[in-house]
Amino acid sequence: MNICTLSARHLQAVLYSHGWLFLCPAEETVTGFRYALTLPAAGACSITVKPVRGALICQTDKSLSARDRAALRQAVRRMLSLDFPLAEFQAVCKARRATRLLRLSRQGWGRMFRSPTCWEDAVKTLCTTNASWGYTQQMCQRLCDELGEVTPSGSKAFPSPQRVVDAGEPFLKKTVGMGYRSKSLILLAGKASGKVPWLLDDSVPVGEDEAEKEIESWHGFGKYATRHLLVLMGFHGYLPVDREVGLHLGVRKAGDRDSKLDADHFAAWGKFRFTAYKVSRVANRLNWIGD
């Protein structure tokens, strides 16, 4: 399946934009990535995405109906943030004379590698709270290993909300190792089972203010987790500040973190605040969240 026109260089920029490439069920390949996901009718399948002569090609381990092919195309577009207004960000770079950021954005930097659904992004965000990167990876791996649906090629997809609910809080806490996050995950799964439709259906429109109000009401989602998920939804006017981001921006005292970052760092970039932050890290040859 041909997804879009995208060069190998631009694909690599998206894949390395964020640590999600290194969380299960994503697998890095020589030229692209492999992923296990669940489609409406076909269920779990493994996909391999790679650039071929300037086009982005997606191969699957299962025959798909027209409905599932359309769903898969939309899922991959979301994963690669292909609808992100990169040209608009480049125009802001020109206006601000940010030549390094403009050059990098023309190489594909600015988009983020995400999950096929906001549900999966929300769970992974929850797994980053008060946890080392290694522990985050471990929780995501165990969620897939213990609860994921198996694809024809033997991989396991990220678990659905229903599978999480069926597993129960004690299982999540002890077997998966989610700890205190288990309660938050069960409650989140309940939200995804119809109360918040955009968690599973990317076609359901949701505004920035509405999304922020909803997410900050969730159990276990403080300021960092709320902002991180908003960024993953495409709202880049936020800085999701964890210890790594704070240290990078020169904030040494925990009590000063939010006030200094909100007042001084990249605020002039408006809706592209996070975009400017992460591309500037590329310019300075640094990594960021998750890497």
Element (H, E) at 134: helix 133-147
User: Under a CB-based contact definition with an 8 Å cutoff, are residues 112 and 17 in contact?
Assistant: yes
Cβ pair 145, 157 in contact under 8 A? no
Nearest CA to 85 out of 61, 65, 105 is that of: 105
pLDDT in tens, 160-212: 999 999 999 999 999 999 999 999 999 999 999 889 999 999 999 999 999 99
In this prediction the pTM is 0.91
pLDDT digits (tens, 9 = 90+) for 57-75: 999 999 999 999 999 999 9
What CA–CA distance (Å, rounded) separates 289 from 248? Answer: 11
* Pairwise CA distance, residues 57 & 80, whole Å: 13
Contact in structure between 251 and 289 (CB atoms under 8 Å): no
Contact 33, 49 (CB under 8 A): yes
CA distances from residue 231 to 35, 88, 122 in whole angstroms, order as listed: 22, 17, 11
C-alpha–C-alpha distance, residues 162 and 180, integer Å: 20
Could you give all domains of the chain from N- to C-terminal order, each with its CATH number? 2-83 (3.30.310.20), 118-283 (1.10.340.30)
pLDDT of residue 264: 58
What is the model's pLDDT at position 55? Answer: 87
Question: Can you give the pLDDT at residue 7?
Answer: 85
Per-residue pLDDT of 199-230, as tens digits, reads 999 999 999 999 999 999 999 999 999 999 99
Amino acid at 183: K
Residues 13-22 have pLDDT tens digits of: 999 988 999 9
